[in-house]
Amino acid sequence: MSEEYKREHVFGLDYGTSDFKFGPITLGEVPEVVENRGYFIDRSSLMSRIMGVRRDLVVGKDVPRFLESREDLAERMVYPMRNGVIAKDDERAWKVIEELTRYALEAFAPKDESFQGFYAVASISIISPRYMYEHLFEMFRKINEERILVKAATIIPQPLAVAIAHKTPTCTVVESGHGNTQICPISMYPVRNAVMALNRGGGAANILTMEILKDAGYGDLAKEESLVRFVKERIGLVPRNLDEALRYARSNLDKVRISIKVPGTRIRVDLGEKAWARFLIGEYVFNPGHEIFQSYFARGMPKPSDVKIGDTYFYGMMDMAEAIITSIEKCPIELQPHLYSKILLSGGNFGWRVPEGLEGVAVRSDQKLKEMLAEKGVENVEVAIVGDPKYSVWRGCIVYGYAVPLDYPWKWERMEGWMNVA
Amino acid sequence: MTISVRRPDPRALDGLVSVLSRECWYIDVYYYLRGKEALEVAGNLGLRLDEGGEGAEIKRLEVRGVSLKVNLYPRPAALTVSYRVGWGEANRGVVRKIHERIFGGRREAGLFEKLLRWSR
């Protein structure tokens, strides 16, 4: 097997908490994206028999075609990476991951005989325990039993993939997906004992959006998670300063008001006089401790709680700037200025836009964090949102796979290299 | 060095590659196409891309003496075209001609057309 073959067959797999991004090097800069979820079909049902459904589990773009009633959704739909970690004995979650991986590899595996498997680079959360690495390697071997799809595999933490994609050996990566936020200082390698995790991401903003929709009279729509996410992405705003933004919104309703139509349906959402609540959605991601959110908690909205998963604490209510400072202050003092001077924001949860006419009141994620850090006395900070934040982990996987030499075997002590799985 | 260009004008692309070829041993040109555009380009190249179908394929085509590698991915309806050119090819206007072939642009004038143009 030649180095040239490897370079042409690098395959990136980014197991995000909400979306699964995948594809070979030949896809260029944009991977394929499907939701990181699987739907277990009730094969005992009469309709499944009549329709000749032979599968137990559906993943990828076919999922919506098999959905049954709303009541069944919660029980049958499995989001395996919801908090970035899969329990060792969670068979259904591992089954979904295996099926998704097979789905991804089969979509791009060439039919011709010269194909001897991809060089797969999988990326998972920095807080993933060792058994997840072992399980993933085992899964690749199992997939190969039917047909060789993976020649060798390697696994890297998501923040490291981001740093690689941006060729930045010393930086702090803040990777915020659907389920959680990982803050990871990097100095050639991830500084593992300085990693901080927040038990909130885009999903927390979805929950708040649901409440805002209910308050605006769209209680029936608020039950559908995909619709809530769509609304959040269209209407959510990050305020420079929440109190000032709310004052502005109340006196300039016409500038803040928005009406959106859900494609392919007759549904139109308009918050009307409650359009000021758009600013709460973005603020909640960065600082759920603001007093305005107390009224939502008092009415039953779940508060992001502190949880311990494996050896890692996920903080629920800590504001994002505080978490970054805590993380960097666990590193050597000499290194700290370098870590503040390059903070990279990655992940779909940083893709907030500033609509025309609201510049200055609403800001992008990088500006928000810079201001929050300045308020806490941290200067000389450089915060940047990576280009296409949703895809940067996948791109890092591709660059990593391209660069790691073929003859560099996997080493458990360093967690790097190729594991032969064929 | 990697240069990304979105929807380049064929002449501008030709000029860019020609300039780069003076400083580089070779230049790899890649096209990444998705969805409807991928289906159209497959048709322009005389290939089939059945959207949602199974099994990726690699095809090789020869255009103006340059070997084109075409990766066809039916399930996600994606297609990539790649080829390598050096100084010689870059200065023959091959890049523009390949670009036009990919996007079904201006057709090469036939002998009759050339004669007609000459007689005018």
Question: Among partner residues B32, B57, B58, which is closest to A28 by beta-carbon distance?
Answer: B32
Which chain A residue is nearest to residue B34, measuring alpha carbons?
Answer: A27
- CA dist A209 and A342 (Å) reads 31
pLDDT over threshold 70, residue B106: no
ipTM for this prediction: 0.71
Residue B46, chain A, CB below 8 Å: the answer is no
Q: How far apart (Å, rounded) are the C-alpha atoms in residues A57 and A41?
A: 6
Closest CA to A384 of A338, A344, A337, A336: A344
Mean pLDDT of all residues in B44-70: 87
Backbone torsions φ then ψ of A218, nearest 5 degrees: -110, 40
3-class secondary structure for chain A? CCHHHHHHCEEEEEECCCEEEEEEHHHCCCCEEEECCEEECCCCCHHHHHHCCCCCEEEHHHHHHHCCCHHHHHHHEECCCCCCCCCCCCHHHHHHHHHHHHHHHHHHCECCCCCCCEEEEEEECCCCCHHHHHHHHHHHHHHCCCCCCEEEEEEEEHHHHHHHHCCCCEEEEEEECCCCEEEEEEECEECHHHCEEECCCHHHHHHHHHHHHHHCCCCCHHHCHHHHHHHHHHHCCCECCHHHHHHHHHHCHHHHCCEEECCCCCCEEECHHHHHHHHHHHHHHHCCCCHHHHHHHHCCCCCCCCEEECCEEEECCCCHHHHHHHHHCCCCCCCHHHHHCCEEEECHHHCCCCCCCCECCECCHHHHHHHHHHHCCCCCCCEEECCCCCCHHHHHHHHHHHHCCCCCECECCCCECEEECC
pLDDT at residue B116 is higher than 80: no
For residue A22, the cross-strand partners are A13, A32
Q: Chain B contact for A112, CB < 8 A?
A: yes
Q: Does A110 touch chain B (CB under 8 A)?
A: yes
Contact state of B57 with A32 under an 8 Å Cβ cutoff: no
Task: Tell me whether domains A3-37+79-165+390-420 and A198-310+313-385 share a fold.
Answer: yes
How confident is the model over A103-113, as a mean pLDDT? 90
Tell which of B2, B71, B72, B79 to mutate to test the A interface (max A CBs under 10 Å).
Answer: B71
Residue of B3, B73, B81, B82 to mutate, interface with A, max A Cβ within 10 Å: B73
Which residue has 């049954």 as its token pair?
Answer: A68
Write the pLDDT tens digit of every residue in A41-63: 876 666 666 666 667 888 888 78
Phi and psi based region of residue A125 (left: phi greater than 0; alpha: psi -120 to 50; beta: remaining): beta
Q: What is the mean pLDDT of residues A379-395?
A: 91
Chain B residues whose beta carbon lies within 8 Å of the beta carbon of residue A395 = none
- CB under 8 Å to A76, separation ≥6 — which residues? A39, A40, A41, A42, A68
A23 interaction partners in chain B (CB closer than 8 Å)? 76
Task: Residue B79: list chain A partners with CB under 8 A.
Answer: none
pLDDT confidence of residue A292: 93
Whether A5 and chain B come into contact, CB under 8 Å, resolves to no
Distance from CA of B83 to the nearest CA of A (A): 12
One-letter amino acid identity for A353?
A: R
Does the CB of A387 have a partner CB in chain B at under 8 Å?
Answer: no
What's the pLDDT score for residue B110? Answer: 54
Taking 80 as the threshold, does the pLDDT of residue A241 lie above it? yes
In single-letter form, the type of residue at position A375 comes to: E
Q: Choose between A219 and A134: higher pLDDT.
A: A134
Report the top-level CATH class of A3-37+79-165+390-420.
Answer: alpha beta
Predicted local distance difference test score (pLDDT) of residue B109: 53
Q: Can you give the pLDDT at residue A132? A: 95
Question: B interface mutation test: which of A29, A108, A115, A394 has the most B CBs within 10 A?
Answer: A108
Closest-CA distance, A142 to chain B, in angstroms, reads 20
Residue of B4, B31, B58, B79 to mutate, interface with A, max A Cβ within 10 Å? B58
The second-level CATH assignment, the architecture, of A198-310+313-385 is 2-Layer Sandwich (3.30)
pLDDT at B118: 59
Contact at CB, B78 and A110, closer than 8 angstroms = no
A313-343 pLDDT, tens digit per residue, is 889 999 999 999 999 999 999 999 999 999 9
The region of weakest confidence among A22-36, A175-189, B3-17, B78-92 is: B3-17
Secondary structure class of B55 (helix, strand, coil): coil
Q: Tell me, what DSSP letter sits at residue B56?
A: B
Contact (Cβ atoms closer than 8 angstroms) between residue B85 and residue B26: yes
Q: Distance between the two ends of chain A, CA-based, in angstroms?
A: 12
Number of Cβ within a 10 Å radius of residue A213? 24
Query: Would you kindly state where each structural domain of chain A is located, as residue ranges?
Result: 3-37+79-165+390-420, 198-310+313-385
**C-beta of residue A118 within 8 angstroms of C-beta of residue A402:** no
Residue A406 has pLDDT above 70, yes or no: yes
Name the region of A130 (left: φ>0; alpha: ψ -120 to 50; beta: rest).
alpha
Give the whole-angstrom CA distance, residue B9 versus residue A417.
42
Give residues with Cβ within 8 angstroms of A357, minimum separation 6: A255
Concatenated DSSP letters of B7-53? S--HHHHHHHHHHHHTT-S-EEEEEEEEHHHHHHHHHHTT----TT-
Is a pLDDT exceeding 70 seen at residue B108? no
Nearest to B95 by CA among B52, B58, B66, B53: B66
In whole angstroms, give the CA distance from residue A22 to residue A121: 10
- Per-residue confidence at A345, pLDDT binned at 50, 70, 90? very high
Measured between beta carbons, the chain A residues lying within 8 angstroms of B32 are 27-30
pLDDT at A113 over 80: yes
Q: Please give the pLDDT value at position A68.
A: 65
Cβ–Cβ contact A152 with B under 8 A: no
**What is the mean pLDDT of the segment spanning A116-121?**
96
Contact A231, A204 (CB under 8 A): no
CB distance from B87 to chain A under 8 Å? no
pLDDT tens for each residue of A278-318: 999 999 999 999 999 999 999 999 999 898 877 778 899 99
Residue in B closest to A33 by C-alpha: B76
pLDDT at B115 over 60: no
Judged by CB atoms closer than 8 Å, whether chains meet at B32 and A107 is answered as no
B6 touches chain A (CB under 8 A): no
What is the 3 state secondary structure string of A135-190?
HHHHHHHHHCCCCCCEEEEEEEEHHHHHHHHCCCCEEEEEEECCCCEEEEEEECEE
In this complex, do B56 and A111 lie within 8 Å of one another by their Cβ atoms? Answer: yes
